[in-house]
Amino acid sequence: MAFLEIKSLCKSFESYSVLKDIDLSIEKGEFVVFVGPSGCGKSTLLRMITGLETPTSGTIAIEDEVINDVDPARRGTAMVFQSYALYPHMTVFQNISFGLRMSRKPKALIRERVEKAAAILRLDKLLDRKPAQLSGGQKQRVAIGRAIVREPRVFLFDEPLSNLDAELRVQMRAELLELHERLGTTMIYVTHDQVEAMTLADKMVVMSGGRIQQYGRPLDLYDDPDNKFVAGFVGSPK
Ligand code: ADP
Ligand code: MG
C-alpha cells in the first residue's frame, strides 16, 4: 500500500453528493496539489483526511492504518487554513505553541520546537508580537509554524496563499518548496490557481464535479491530458 491510500471515498451532505468514488495513492514525501473549480469538493476531501468531516463511504488509510474512525488529534495530520485562524489575543509564540500546550507537552520541548520552527519561517524576532502587529505573509507563516511544531506525518494546506497579494504569493511559494525540501514531509495542498499548482506539485490532482479527472506529474498532464477539462485547466493546447 502507498503511504496514504484513499479508496472508493464518497461524501454526501444530505442528498447532495459532493465527492464521488475517489481513489488515490500518495507516496511518502510527495507534494501533491489538488486543483479544481470552487465547489468541486477540495476542502471537503482535506477535512476528511484531517478528521473534520466523516466519509459517507470508503476508506482513508495512512501507513496501512484506516483512519476513518481515528481521533483527529492522533492522525498525525496538521492543516493550514486560508484564513490563518490565529488567536488575536495571543502572541506569536503562544499561537505557534497552542496545540503543544493543549496536549501538555513539556515546556522545554515546546520552546525548542517553537524556536526551530520560528527560525525556519524567519519569525524568530517576532515571537512576542500579537497577530495585529504582523503582515499578511507573517500571519500565514505563524499558521504554518503552528502546523510544523506538531511534527505531522502529513501537512494539509487549504488555499493558504489566497489572501496574500500577488508578489507575496510568489515569494511564499518558494518558501513552501524550501520547507518541503527541508522537512521532506508529505504535503497535500489545495488551490484553484493553476500556476501555483504547476510550480509546487510533484503530482497534481485535477478535480471537477466531485471526481478526479486526472492524477499525475504536472508536465504529463500538460503533454497528455485525459480530457478537455484537464487540458483547459493546465493550459495545454491539446
Ligand atoms: P471547494 O473547496 O472545492 O471549493 P468544498 O469542499 O468546500 O469545495 O465544497 C463542495 C460542495 O459541498 C459545495 O457545494 C459546498 O457548498 C458543499 N458543502 C461543503 N460543506 C458542506 C456542509 N457542511 N454542509 C452542506 N454542504 C456542504
Ligand atoms: Mg475550498
What ipTM does the predicted assembly reach? Answer: 0.98
Nearest to 81 by CA among 110, 55, 52, 115: 52
State yes or no: pLDDT of 82 exceeds 90. Answer: no
CB atoms closer than 10 angstroms to residue 103:
10
Ligand 1: atom nearest CA of 38 is 4
Residue 27 grid coordinates: 507516496
What pLDDT, in 10s, does the model give residues 165-204? Answer: 888 899 999 999 999 999 999 999 999 888 999 999 999 9
Give the separation between CA 67 and CA 181, rounded to whole angstroms.
Answer: 27
What pLDDT, in 10s, does the model give residues 127-155? Answer: 999 999 999 999 999 999 999 999 999 99
Pairing of strands 57-62, 154-158: unpaired
Q: How far is the CA of 7 from the centre of ligand 1 (A)?
A: 20
Ligand closest to CA 36: 1
Nearest to 152 by CA among 93, 100, 199: 100
Ligand 1: atom nearest CA of 158 is 2
Q: How far is the CA of 208 from the centre of ligand 1 (A)?
A: 13
Which pLDDT band holds residue 83 (cuts at 50, 70, 90)?
confident
Ligand 1: atom nearest CA of 210 is 10
Give the separation between CA 216 and CA 154, rounded to whole angstroms.
Answer: 19
Give the separation between CA 225 and CA 237, rounded to whole angstroms.
Answer: 10
Give the separation between CA 7 and CA 24, rounded to whole angstroms.
Answer: 7
Angle at 11 between CA 60 and CA 176, to 5 degrees: 60
Ligand 1 binding residues, C-beta < 6 A: 13, 18, 36, 38-44
Residue for cell digits 463511504? 57
Q: How far is the CA of 82 from the centre of ligand 2 (A)?
A: 9
Ligand 1: atom nearest CA of 207 is 3
List the alpha helices (DSSP H) in 82-135. 92-102, 107-120
Q: How far is the CA of 39 from the centre of ligand 1 (A)?
A: 6
Q: What is the largest CA-CA distance in the chain?
A: 57
